């Protein structure tokens, strides 16, 4: 039997891009507030995080997984206002942040209970909206699959993105040496502020040359790549013995010519992964690992959120334009107009 707050409205505000297109394709709409099914909770959204996948979905270039709503938004924070049957961890009135398969760009969002997390200590309800997608991505790829160890080195591309900030801060908290790239001196300064040991302006420097010089020619143990394309052969050559290359995006292209002699002789691992299509069980497991290993870092202020800008739903186009400009440092958030005006 589901349990719901007695004050739920019938309708909710949301953002849609129909038909797909540029930022101006996003318009406010209205739908019925959804009802949680078995194992689901309904969240009154305080804020939703903006991610690169949202931009591609808005353009009609990102096929959504089966079962995903036609509403953008892969993460949100807010108050639980209804719980479906078989929910055990949360109840009406709890404040949570959640990893979503979609639906965050709305006043109310459904989430599997297992993909909801309590708000970390020392993080506001609004700022928590920018945590689930990036920290789940970084944990499962850099800490789990690549098994980054204390004392190892890691190269993180795009250090001022939400992913970049999460990866730098988590790697440093874990005792790794961090190299990271960005496109401007201002962004390189931000990377150093996040805790990176070496910031590389890729428009002025060759990242592979800098990493080799800083490691006396050894190379790096782990590379977190969001570019692909022409970066791949340079990264394979840069990896140290037993190094691991994790591909989480392919903005620079899906094809490259790679010397697999490096893979063979240096015992390298090359892998890739996507988070959104994974099962609820897999994503719920990652969320439990964040609560156990990452949330305490927020509680002890070893990691803090990095929020660049907050826009109301009615200005969603400006939020996407800012992300497309690549001028942002940290996360961009959207809040329902009712929250922004409160």
| 71-101 pLDDT per residue, tens | 999 999 999 999 999 999 999 999 999 999 9
Helix/strand/coil (H/E/C) assignment for every residue in the chain: CCEECCCCCCEEEEEEECCCCCHHHEEEEEEECCCCCCCEEEEEEEEEECCHHHHHHHCCCCCCCCCCCCCCCCEEEEEEEEECCCCCCCCCCCEEEEECCCCCCECEEEEEHHHEEECCCCCCCCHHHHCHHHHHHHHHHHHHHCCCCCCCEEEECCCCCHHHHHHHHHHHHCCCEEEEEECCHHHHHHHHHHCCCEEEECCCCCHHHHHHHHCCCCCEEEEEECCCCCHHHHHHHHEEEEEEEEECCCCCCCCCCCCHHHHHHHCCEEEECCCCCCCHHHHHHHHHHHHHHCHHHHHCCCCCCCEEEEEEHHHHHHHHHHHHHCCCCCEEEEECHHHHCC
| 147-180 pLDDT per residue, tens | 999 999 999 999 999 999 999 999 999 999 999 9
Are 46 and 129 contacting, i.e. CB atoms less than 8 angstroms apart? yes
| 27-48 pLDDT per residue, tens | 999 999 999 999 999 999 999 9
The pLDDT-based confidence of 4 (bands split at 50, 70, 90) is confident
Q: Is the pLDDT of residue 240 over 90?
A: yes
What is the model's pLDDT at position 74?
98
Looking at per-residue confidence, does 4 or 283 come out higher?
283
Q: Is the pLDDT of residue 250 over 90?
A: no
The pLDDT-based confidence of 264 (bands split at 50, 70, 90) is very high
Domains of the chain in sequence order: 3-131+276-340 (3.90.180.10), 135-272 (3.40.50.720)
Q: Is the pLDDT of residue 254 over 90?
A: no
What is the model's pLDDT at position 288?
98
| 185-208 pLDDT per residue, tens | 999 999 999 999 999 999 999 999
| 277-316 pLDDT per residue, tens | 999 999 999 999 999 999 999 999 999 999 999 999 999 9
Q: What average pLDDT score do residues 110-119 get?
A: 98
Who's near 265: CB < 8 A, 6+ residues apart? none
Q: Is the pLDDT of residue 340 over 80?
A: no
Q: Is the pLDDT of residue 1 over 60?
A: no
The pLDDT-based confidence of 67 (bands split at 50, 70, 90) is confident
- The average confidence (pLDDT) of the chain is 95
Record the pTM: 0.94
Q: Is the pLDDT of residue 335 over 90?
A: yes
Q: Is the pLDDT of residue 269 over 90?
A: yes
What is the model's pLDDT at position 107?
98
Q: Is the pLDDT of residue 5 over 80?
A: no
Q: What average pLDDT score do residues 317-333 get?
A: 97
């Amino acid at each position: 039997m589901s349990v719901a707050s007695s004050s739920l409205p019938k309708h909710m505000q949301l953002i849609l891009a129909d038909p797909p297109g540029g930022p101006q394709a996003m318009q406010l709409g209205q739908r019925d507030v959804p009802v949680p099914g078995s194992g689901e909770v309904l969240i009154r959204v305080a804020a939703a995080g903006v991610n690169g996948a949202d931009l591609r979905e808005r353009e009609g270039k990102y096929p959504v997984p089966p079962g995903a709503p036609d509403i953008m938004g892969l993460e949100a924070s807010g108050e639980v206002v209804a719980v479906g049957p078989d929910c055990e961890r949360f109840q009406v009135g709890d404040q949570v942040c959640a990893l979503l398969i979609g639906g965050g760009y709305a006043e109310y969002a459904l989430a599997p209970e297992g993909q909801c997390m309590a708000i970390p200590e020392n993080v506001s309800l609004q700022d928590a909206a920018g945590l689930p997608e990036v920290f789940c991505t970084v944990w499962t790829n850099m800490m789990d699959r690549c098994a980054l160890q204390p004392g190892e080195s890691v190269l993180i591309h795009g250090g001022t993105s939400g992913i970049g900030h999460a990866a730098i801060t988590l790697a440093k908290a874990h005792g790794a040496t961090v190299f990271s790239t960005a496109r401007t001196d201002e962004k390189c300064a931000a990377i150093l502020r996040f805790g990176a040991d070496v910031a590389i302006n890729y428009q002025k420097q060759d990242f592979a040359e800098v990493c080799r010089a800083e490691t006396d020619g050894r190379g790096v143990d782990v590379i977190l790549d969001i570019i692909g394309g022409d970066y791949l052969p340079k990264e394979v050559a840069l990896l140290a013995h037993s190094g691991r290359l994790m591909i989480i995006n392919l903005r620079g292209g899906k094809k490259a010519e790679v010397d697999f002699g490096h893979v063979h002789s240096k015992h390298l691992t090359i892998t890739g992964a996507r988070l959104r299509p994974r099962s609820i069980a897999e994503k719920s497991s990652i969320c439990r690992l964040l609560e156990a290993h990452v949330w305490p870092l927020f509680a002890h202020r070893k990691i803090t959120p990095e929020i660049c800008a907050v826009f109301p739903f009615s200005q969603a186009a400006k939020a996407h334009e800012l992300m497309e400009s690549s001028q942002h440092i940290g996360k961009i958030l959207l809040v329902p107009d009712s929250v922004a005006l409160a």
